[in-house]
Amino acid sequence: MPALRPAIFLPESWTATPQPPQPPAATVQAPLTILPDRAWTGVVNTRQDEIHLLGVSSSDLYEGGAAQYLDLSQIPFFAGKRYPTNYNLCGQLSVAAALGLDPIEVLLVFEDLKPGGGSTTDGALILATNEKTSIRNLEDLIHRFGWGTQAIGFETDPLRWREGQLGPPTPERVAELLAQGKAMIALVNLNRRSGKIQDPDLAREEEDNTPHWASLHEVEWRSEGAFVLVYNSFRDHEEWYSWESFLRSWELYPDNSNYRALIALP
């Protein structure tokens, strides 16, 4: 478990000054819902204390059915800046979820990022051109909130999931990092047709697949095996995946660097 959990934001948070996040109320864990085919290829459970980071249900802010497709011109803090509808905010929203921050505050800080002083990110330009965020962009953003960062799984990065080898991460290793109060954002595959994080080989068409930043919040062991709780900004809520299915979505580059993630250090 990360030391900080994303707060439940109400719709008025879009028009009021961002407030410090409040811890979610304690609730009873919902029972596991097993898929009929037991294939474990998608969401298998949603908790009763489901997190909706964006906290809005108005279709005015969404396009194409994806919560992360935000028309920034509809948000008062960005009014008059002529930003287009942004389709690539998964990185910024995953940082908000991972660190337990208001998403509007995170977007405002991202907008303020400029090259120089150790940063290479021009946040306003990225928002204006609807560009995707790189690992370095997210590092620059996280540093602004006083956290350190460590990339893992990249070809040029010496930190690997298993010492001395390039093997995949284990649920035990991820759970250990989260228990230390660290936060983790993974680069996974998203199926844009279903909105689920899943194995790219399961897509109906190759064009349905896209790289996607997602925040890992919890690992839990049940009778069926290990499960990981992930905040998926595309659908704007936390989702349970079996470890096996999540791992297949995480394996984007089997012939190169693999299981890429950014660890935030408090």
With respect to residue 103, please indicate whether it lies within any of the assigned structural domains.
Answer: yes
How many Å apart are CA 54 and CA 51, to the nearest integer?
9
Nearest to 133 by CA among 214, 191, 71, 20: 214
Q: What is the mean pLDDT of residues 45-68?
A: 48
- Answer positive or negative: Cα dihedral of 238, 239, 240, 245: negative
With respect to residue 2, please indicate whether it lies within any of the assigned structural domains.
Answer: no
DSSP-based three-state secondary structure for 198: coil
Q: Locate 32 and state its tokens.
A: 């596991």
Q: Locate 61 and state its tokens.
A: 């802010």
Q: Which residue has the higher pLDDT, 208 or 10?
A: 208
| The amino acid at 174 | V
Query: Using one digit for the tens of pLDDT, what is the confidence trace for 115-134?
Result: 998 899 999 999 999 999 99
Strands 148-152 and 183-191: unpaired
With respect to residue 22, please indicate whether it lies within any of the assigned structural domains.
Answer: no
Query: What backbone torsions phi and psi does residue 253 show, to the nearest 5 degrees?
Result: -135, 70
How many Å apart are CA 67 and CA 96, to the nearest integer?
15
Q: Average pLDDT, whole number, for the chain?
A: 76
Do the Cβ atoms of 241 and 44 come closer than 8 Å? yes
**Of 37-51, 66-80, 130-144, which gets the smallest average pLDDT?**
37-51
Q: What is the mean pLDDT of residues 169-190?
A: 94
Residues 6+ apart with CB under 8 A from 135: 151, 154, 187, 260, 262
With respect to residue 51, please indicate whether it lies within any of the assigned structural domains.
Answer: no
Give the confidence band of 50 by pLDDT, cuts at 50, 70, 90. very low
With respect to residue 67, please indicate whether it lies within any of the assigned structural domains.
Answer: yes
- Asked whether the predicted pLDDT for residue 173 surpasses 60, the reply is yes
With respect to residue 17, please indicate whether it lies within any of the assigned structural domains.
Answer: no
| CATH number of the domain enclosing 72 | 3.90.70.10
DSSP-based three-state secondary structure for 256: coil
Give the confidence band of 88 by pLDDT, cuts at 50, 70, 90. very high
pTM greater than the 0.85 cutoff: no
How many Å apart are CA 101 and CA 149, to the nearest integer?
17
With respect to residue 76, please indicate whether it lies within any of the assigned structural domains.
Answer: yes
| The amino acid at 261 | A
- Answer positive or negative: Cα dihedral of 162, 239, 206, 127: negative
Q: Which residue has the higher pLDDT, 71 or 43?
A: 71
Q: Which residue has the tokens 């992360």?
A: 68
Q: How many domains does one find in the chain?
A: 1
Q: Locate 134 and state its tokens.
A: 């790189």
pLDDT score recorded for residue 165: 55
Beta bridge pairs of residue 63:
66
Domain that holds residue 126: 61-265
With respect to residue 133, please indicate whether it lies within any of the assigned structural domains.
Answer: yes
**Radius of gyration (Cα) for the chain, nearest Å?**
18
Detail the DSSP E strand segments found in the chain. 70-71, 85-86, 148-152, 183-191, 196-197, 209-222, 225-232, 237-242, 261-265
| The amino acid at 96 | A
Do the Cβ atoms of 56 and 37 come closer than 8 Å? no
**pLDDT above 90 covers what percent of the chain?**
45
Query: What backbone torsions phi and psi does residue 5 show, to the nearest 5 degrees?
Result: -110, 150
pLDDT score recorded for residue 185: 97
